[in-house]
Amino acid sequence: MLLAVDAGNTETVVGLFEGPGGSPELVDHWRLSSDPERTSDQLGLLVKELVALHGLTLATDVTGLAVCSGVPRVTAALRRMADRYLGFPPVVIEPGTRTGVPVLYENPREVGADRIANAVGALERFEPPIVVVDFGTATTLDAISARGEYLGGVIVPGIEVALDALYERAALLRRVELVEPRHVIGRSTEQAIQSGSLYGTAALVDGLVARMEAELGPSTVVATGGLARVVAPFSQRIEHLQPELTLHGLRVVFDRSRREG
């Protein structure tokens, strides 16, 4: 079995694939809160409990680990976990990792590993050019050229980050559940915040996609990330919903690394 771990600033997503080299479909996946204070032993015990849900053990059934991480301390802890509990090093998306996707960023080292994994996963499933919209701590829109090159993209504060800032700076506003309001024109403060968060984010994405296509050409638009299911229904430009796209990209990178290794 292959473990794929996408460690972000807010959430860590763990995926379990049949293989390596087996089925491209996820057996299961779990979304956990990211905690840079977790030690390698805590991570090992946590992952051990997750795979045990399928009657599997780390020592005998997990034969591969692929990682993308935006949190250096978590990356280091995952490396130590793999050394102690798995007995082999992980494949980590980082500078020098062969992903099969040319990166045309001015400084390729600045590109988040999750954004590269998204590009790899998108190219496996869709014809370029592609715009990948990732709804996470930040909302990112990444452009993939018709030649399969990662060009760059757009970064804006994520929905929850923007809401947190709103609550902290506006004393009379309270936290609300992110569900569709009955009207775009909110009839209460709660509805107004919901409308701004959902319809506003969808409109932002639609507008940015249009501006990106002016440079990229007509593109396939794919949404992923923890809040993709929440926002995508309100967007006029998102065509495909792939919440676990990052994990699939990790699987592809792992398989390529294994073949070339």
Element (H, E) at 245: helix 245-260
Q: Phi and psi dihedrals of 143, rounded to 5?
A: -105, 130
Is 114 considered catalytic here?
yes
| SS3 category, 202 | helix
From the centroid of its chain, how far is CA 120?
12
- Measured CA to CA, the distance from residue 117 to residue 145 in angstroms comes to 15
- Measured CA to CA, the distance from residue 120 to residue 147 in angstroms comes to 13
* Among 6, 35, 41, 114, the one annotated catalytic: 114
What is the b/e burial string over 203-226, where b = at least 16 CB atoms within 10 angstroms of the residue's CB? ebbeebbeebbeebeebbbbbbbb
- Measured CA to CA, the distance from residue 120 to residue 255 in angstroms comes to 12
Catalytic residue numbers, as ranges: 114
